Amino acid sequence: MPHGLSPGGVSRRDWFRATAATAAATSAATAATPGQRAGKPALQVATNCEMCFWRCGALAKIQDGRVARIEGNPQHPLTLGRLCARGNAGHQTLYDPDRLKRPQLRTGARGEGRFQEVSWDQALDWFAARLTELKNKYGPESVAYLPHGASSGFFGTVMKAFGTPNSAEPAFAQCRGPREVGYALTFGRGVASPEPLDLANARAVVLIGSHIGENVFTSQVTQFSEGLARGAKLIVVDPRFSTAAAKADHWLPIRPGTDIALLLAWINVILSEELEDKEYLAKYAQGLDDLRAHVKPFTPEWASAETELPAGLIRDSARMMAAAKPAVVVHPGRHVTWYGDDTQRSRAMAILTALLGAWGRQGGILLPTTIKRGSFKTPPFPESKRGRADGAGTTYPLASEELGVSNGLIEATLTAKPYPIKGWVVYGQNVLESIPQRERTLSAIRLLDLLVVVDILPVEQTLYADLILPEATYLERYDAPHIVETAARPFISVRQPAVPPMYDSRPGWWIAKAMAARLGLEAWLPWKNPDEHLAKLIEPMGISLGELKARGAVAFEGRPTIEQRIEADGPLFPTESGKIELSSKLLKEIGHDAIPVYRPPADPPPGWFRLLYGRAPVHSFARTENNALLNGLMSENTVWMNDHSARDLGLAAGQRIVLQNADGNESLPISVQPTAAIRKDCVYMVHGFGQQAPGLHKANARGASDNALISRVAIDPIMGSTGMRVNFVRVKPEVQS
């Protein structure tokens, strides 16, 4: 509008506008990038996501001091700017009104939920005093550490320095432990996380129970889809017609628990039809003859009876994957603690991978490339004379001493053997949902002198805690960087705060430093701030701190295939024999089968179903159900039941039922989802719902918890993991009034 224009000159208004625009442009160039909404300049911080453990590259966009939006970081070498639903919703956890806001000391009975807010000084002084008491009375080993997540490592250092070797994450015995052990027994190294699967280049993908799509790790989905788009064949073994099964060339709706039979039959077909990668095996493997002899009887016809799959389908699928060798990904799975024979099943999968020549090959499973890291000089951790209490290395000979056996710690707490466990520090995990046999966990908690919970939300276990410490969310804190060696291009990605911590929450590193100071353990955390820690860590990497923090992630050259390996990368197969061990001497030595042996599972009695569980793409475990956005996408789970079974039971879609297991445990009410997409002998539900935490206003008592129905477990004797798919449930008969 030309009003206000004086002849021959620019009006003051226009002049001001022009200068304002210049000022904005200047600031944009230095500190901000073009904005989010309404053209306002928005600051963005590159970090990585912690809505699950995959830690995708994220850009937090800040407006008016708040994280307004999170988008993928295109500079992240693995996730390439893509984020799943949870990643997009991260700020809703940051702004969850239910968050733990201040340290709280319990004033009522355990489970009663009465607390008193205290200052951090009071809280940590109290915490340190209790730890010292326990140390003096029972020894430092009497304190167990149950951590999860990127920020828990700092406090882990404090616990080790304090003198306890007892640390256990559910990541091992409730998740990927059997896989790590099974693959390490075969190839000399485990699969590790994130799994270095070359899905984008695979010409055949074999999923055994893996439900990619329902289970979303961003880059894994991207590569899986790319592979499919390029024409990769897909074989899916699942009692359920999963998202992946719908895309499969062969869907094998297997009888639950008979996977080893199928795997042995596949191996039988490959070896008997001479479809294996002969050159590869001759060069790198030992024990092929033993294997050939072992699988001889396990024909597809034999397996058909066990697995309830047509022999032809077994044969065709074996031929399909063999035709694609060596570019075949036999997905090693992730949560593989199913039936107690899980290490052996993983072994069978590893052997199949080896026969196809896919380990260390493009389109198969890639090899890690070491990234050199700098470190501070710190004193060695004190050695415990009494050893670990969880059975790692003793009761469970091949269990990881790094990750630990959480159910072993609970056992030790309950039995006080080999020595009493009197204190737990639970950090970032939800032991009542992540570890099966809730009742045993609760019994163990009742025996404790000290339970400290560090968390973000008032999950159920906080009701039992003596002290609750509110941690800052991942968007408010620095964490140890994510250093990933198991990728085609290894990389480092940083976690840095987008906004300062809300309420009276504190980042994990601060809590660790503050506790170390109180316990006199500063020597083990010799850095002043996270920047100093990070700078030391990346010293040998040849990158600058500023660049890393600005870009969020920096990638390095990788040598992921056998052909690319150099001497500095160490032995190809760091097994005892230096070769792929198709037959394991070590397993034989410790009294187990050198080659996997199939043992038939028990079938559910009539009227009962095997309880299967899995994931939804919009939720992570039991962590995100209270997130406003994600809760809006999925606020409760349903129980999938074969439509014929449902009809026989007279159940209609959406009808709310209560499930009951063989021990009489009951679920919360849950809606029935009759579907053709599941076998008649099992039911399925998404894990993470049915929480009983009144402080979680959106998640409390929504849907049913599978964990509440998992009162029985099958312990893997090799490494102690808890097989959880051994519970049978039925629909609780209605009580007529």
Whichever of 16 and 503 has its CB closer to another protein, that residue is: 16
637 touching another protein, by CB under 8 A: no
Among 414, 483, 628, 701, binds another protein (CB under 8 A): 628
Residue 697 sits in the site that holds another protein (CB under 8 A): no
Closest approach of Cβ 35 to another protein, in Å?
Answer: 8
Spatial distance between the Cα atoms of 394 and 373, rounded to a whole number of angstroms:
32
Contacts for 322 with CB less than 8 Å, ≥ 6 apart: 269, 270, 273, 275, 276, 356
Among 52, 216, 392, 693, binds another protein (CB under 8 A): 216
Which amino acid type is present at position 336? V
Rg of the chain on CA atoms, in Å: 27
Q: Which is nearer to another protein, 34 or 578 (CB)?
A: 34
Angle at 73 between CA 68 and CA 76, to 5 degrees: 155
Name the segment binding another protein (CB under 8 A); options: 3-11, 360-368, 467-475, 597-605: 3-11
Q: Longest C-alpha distance within the chain, in Å?
A: 100
CA pair distance 622, 636, nearest whole angstrom: 11
Chain positions 18 to 77 lying near another protein, rule: CB under 8 A, are 34, 37-38, 69-72
Helix, coil or strand: residue 453: strand
Shortest distance, position 501 Cβ to another protein, whole Å? 22
Which residue blocks in 324-360 are alpha helix, DSSP H? 342-355
Smallest distance, Å, CB 673 to another protein? 9
Closest to 308 (Cα-Cα) out of 275, 265, 274: 265
CB of 644 to another protein, least distance (A): 8
Considering only 106-114, 217-225, 267-275, 493-501, which stretch makes contact with another protein by CB under 8 A? 217-225
Complex with another protein: residue 225 or 564, whichever CB lies closer? 225
Q: Does 675 bind another protein (CB under 8 A)?
A: yes
| Strand boundaries in 64-168, DSSP class E | 66-72, 104-106, 115-117, 143-147
| Buried b or exposed e, range 598-608, using 16+ CB within 10 angstroms | beebeebeeeb
Task: Give how many residues touch another protein by CB under 8 A.
Answer: 63
Q: Is-contact 665 709, C-beta < 8 A?
A: yes
Q: Between residues 234 and 611, which has the closer beta carbon with respect to another protein?
A: 234
Element (H, E) at 660: strand 659-661
Q: Cβ of residue 541: shortest distance to another protein, in angstroms?
A: 29
Would you give the binding string for another protein spanning residues 66-85, x where CB under 8 A is met?
A: ---xxxx--------xxxxx
Is residue 582 classed as helix, strand or coil in its secondary structure? coil
Instruction: Give start and end residues of each alpha helix (H) in 215-277.
Output: 218-229, 259-272
> Is residue 168 within 8 Å of 143, Cβ to Cβ?
no
Dihedrals phi, psi of 500, to nearest 5 degrees:
-70, 155
- Tell me which stretch binds another protein (CB under 8 A): 245-253, 268-276, 329-337, 465-473: 245-253
**Nearer CB in complex with another protein: 189/551:** 551
Q: Say whether residue 307 binds another protein (CB under 8 A).
A: no
Binding test (CB under 8 A) with another protein, winner from 55, 76, 91, 106: 91
* Region from 4-12, 132-140, 299-307, 569-577 binding another protein, contact rule CB under 8 A: 4-12
Q: Which is nearer to another protein, 88 or 343 (CB)?
A: 88
Contact code string over 639-658 relative to another protein, x by CB under 8 A: ---x----------------
SS3 503: coil
Among residues 35 and 418, whose Cβ is nearest to another protein? 35
Contacts of 25 (CB under 8 A, 6+ apart): none
194 counts as binding another protein under rule CB under 8 A: no
Whole-number Å distance between alpha carbons of 600 and 254:
13
For helices 259-272 and 311-323, the axis angle rounded to 10 degrees is 60
Of the two residues 214 and 316, which places its CB atom closer to another protein in the complex?
214
Characterize 695-718 residue by residue with b for buried, 16 or more Cβ atoms within 10 angstroms of its Cβ, and e for exposed: bbebbbbbbbbbbbbbbbbbbbbb
CB of 462 to another protein, least distance (A): 25
Q: Of 39 and 380, which has the nearer Cβ to another protein?
A: 39
Among residues 642 and 707, whose Cβ is nearest to another protein? 642
If the CB atoms of residues 61 and 422 are measured against another protein, the closer one turns out to be: 61
* Interaction of residue 221 with another protein, rule CB under 8 A: yes
- The first and second tokens of residue 342, run together, are 């899980």
Residue 88 binds another protein, judged by CB under 8 A: yes
CB-count exposure of residue 577 (10 Å: 0-12, 13-18, 19+): middle
Which of 29, 652, 676, 735 touches another protein (CB under 8 A)? 676
Smallest distance from another protein to CB 18, Å: 12
The reply on whether position 89 binds another protein by CB under 8 A is yes
Distance between CA 257 and CA 273 in Å, rounded?
Answer: 26
- Asked if 335 and 176 touch (Cβ cutoff 8 Å), the reply is yes
DSSP 468: E
Amino acid at 729: V
Among 11, 26, 378, 529, binds another protein (CB under 8 A): 11
What is residue 520's three-state secondary structure?
Answer: coil
Does 406 participate in binding another protein (rule CB under 8 A)? Answer: no
**For another protein, which is the closer residue by CB, 247 or 549?**
247
List the x/- string, 590-619, binding to another protein by CB under 8 A.
---------------------------xx-
Closer Cβ to another protein, 87 or 209, answer by number:
87
Percent helix, strand, coil in the chain, to 5, is 35, 15, 50
Among 246, 323, 523, 590, binds another protein (CB under 8 A): 246
DSSP state of 298: -
- Least Cα distance to 158 among 537, 517, 536 occurs for 517
Smallest distance, Å, CB 551 to another protein? 18
Question: CA-CA distance, 548 to 558, in Å (whole number)?
Answer: 18
| 220, 336, 584, 643 from 179: Cα distances, Å | 18, 7, 15, 34
Q: Is 247 in the site for another protein (CB under 8 A)?
A: yes
Q: Min. distance of Cβ 603 from another protein in angstroms?
A: 18
Q: Give the position of tokens 């026989």.
A: 648
Q: Residue 586 or residue 649: which is nearer to another protein going by CB?
A: 649
160 or 615, CB closer to another protein? 615
Site string for another protein, 255-284 (x = CB under 8 A): ------------------------------
CA distance 309 to 693: 42
Shortest distance in whole angstroms from residue 556 CB to another protein: 24
Residue ranges binding another protein (CB under 8 A) = 1-4, 6-9, 11-13, 16, 34, 37-38, 69-72, 81-89, 91-92, 212-214, 216, 218, 221-222, 224-226, 228-229, 241, 243-247, 251, 253, 617-618, 628-633, 642, 675-677, 679
